[in-house]
Structure 1
Amino acid sequence: MEKYRTIAKNGEQEIIIKKSRFIGSVARVTTETEAQEFLNTVRQKHAKANHHCFAYQLGFQDEIQRMSDDGEPSGTAGPPILDVLAKEHLNNLICVVTRYFGGIKLGAGGLIRAYSQGTSTAIQSVGLVAGMSQRRYQITIDYNQLDILTHYLAKQAITIANTEYTDVVALTVWLNEDAEETKLTAIKNLLAGQVTFAKQEAGFNEVPIESPK
């Protein structure tokens, strides 16, 4: 089952609205210290900007939520940034939306839309992943079985974490713990029993998911 959702990687994206530059910067963080360090990095990078508004969510259940309007009218920057993160159920990340004022006032509604769009655009640019609680297995087969197995794995959306080629082929895959026995039996039947399995550690396998529109 899906345990968490977050961004695939750190990154930034810029949009321009009525001559104001809005630069959304996103990063994976797990502590408030890491969030603050990233915020400071963005502030130093864009030292001449007018505002560095932000929001972050920490913990698998969003136990910690923080936000700041950083000088913008109350409720027009931090809350819309956090709202995007919350609606997408994103964990353990911070989004900083930096604004270089372009001389045209946007009004409260315009600011809310701008900071929301700045956040969504940054998230879309880096992509999202879902952390699935799974277990790794090494599957060892002969070379003449490789096409059959890889076709099955692709059809079942089973992630191949690693492949080693020696006198045999060893594929390391991620399987959902509540379905691993079923999948292993299916693979064994598919290959007429000519396969060996090595059970490895459990953990989180991050699977790409569709970005918000």
Structure 2
Amino acid sequence: MNTNDSAATRYTTLTSDSIHELEIKRSRFITYLFRVETEAAARAHIAALRKSHFDARHHCSAFILGPDRIVQRSNDDGEPSGTAGIPMLDALAKREMPDASVLSDVLAVVVRYFGGIKLGAGGLVRAYSDAVSSGLDHAPLHLRQRLRIFAFTASHAQAARYENELRAAGYQVEPTEWQAQHAIVRIGIPDTEQAAQELHTHIATLTSGAATLNSTNTQWVDLI
């Protein structure tokens, strides 16, 4: 995703897919969490779980997509209306992160094997909400941030030193391009004017004014 048409500059997503199971009054609630970036990918996962858990009573789902979380969908899959998909979506949408970012690009599918005891509408809402919340408690998460990429040229002899000093100063150093005559050092910073000004000052000091810093593009980067 290389775009700058989003107002959001960061969000939290899954580091890897995750599975977690709860048993509530003999019913099994198996929560699958996937990182997805398109509706097509989300629906492909749901379809695959319908096949692999063909004997389950329900395959309820909810997903949120995009930095601005514009796409939000849910499905009760046969449970009473509003007792599964919406509580699952709420568990995703209202998830609180330590850094105050929001959760996105996440699909939750809860596969339910009915245990013979009816939970009632309130019980179902709690069960599906708890299933997703508990799944998130056990899932690996990380921050994804939109960075503006800046670049400058340096001699081969100096480029590696600049990389090390920039990392030591806390900057996100992107892969350097090693060309025949020189190297192109790339740095990613938060897409704000203040961060850009601070980087210009830092590079001027680091290179004694020898480097010309140019803005290249913006891109979303996983900060793992």
Indicate whether the TM-score tops 0.5: yes
The TM-score, its normalising length taken from structure 2, stands at 0.72
Deviation digits for residues 53-110 of structure 1 (CA, Å, limit 9, x no counterpart): 1112344444333212212233221111110222144334321111122344434333
Tell me what 1:101 maps to. Answer: 114
8 A contact 2:14–2:140 mirrored in 1:
yes
Unaligned runs of 5+ in 2: 1-6, 96-101
Report the Cα distance in structure 1 between the residues aligned to 2:127 and 2:205, rounded to whole angstroms: 55
> Do residues 186 (structure 1) and 202 (structure 2) align?
yes
Moved more, 163-172 or 102-111: 163-172
* TM-fit CA distance, 1:149: 3.1
**Secondary structure in structure 2 of the residue aligned to 1:49:** coil
Structure 1 counterpart of 2:44, which letter?
A: E
8 A contact 1:13–1:121 mirrored in 2:
no
Q: Percent identity?
A: 33
8 A contact 1:7–1:123 mirrored in 2:
no
Instruction: Please provide the CA RMSD for this pair.
Output: 3.2
The TM-score, its normalising length taken from structure 1, stands at 0.75
Deviation digits for residues 135-170 of structure 1 (CA, Å, limit 9, x no counterpart): 243574355555433211x2xxx3223257899886
Aligned residues: 204
Deviation digits for residues 114-143 of structure 1 (CA, Å, limit 9, x no counterpart): 212222233341314333242243574355
Tell me what 1:150 maps to. Answer: 167
Report the Cα distance in structure 2 between the residues aligned to 1:116 and 1:139, rounded to whole angstroms: 52
> Do residues 16 (structure 1) and 22 (structure 2) align?
yes
Tell me what 1:45 maps to. Answer: 52
Moved more, 34-43 or 164-173: 164-173
Moved more, 28-37 or 48-57: 28-37
Report the Cα distance in structure 1 between the residues aligned to 2:88 and 2:141, rounded to whole angstroms: 17
8 A contact 2:166–2:173 mirrored in 1:
no
Unaligned runs of 5+ in 1: 209-213
Q: Which one of the candidate residues 200, 203, 210 is aligned to 2:219?
A: 203
Q: What are the residue-to-residue correspondences of 1:164-183 with 2, within 5 Å?
A: 171-177=185-191, 178=193, 179-183=195-199
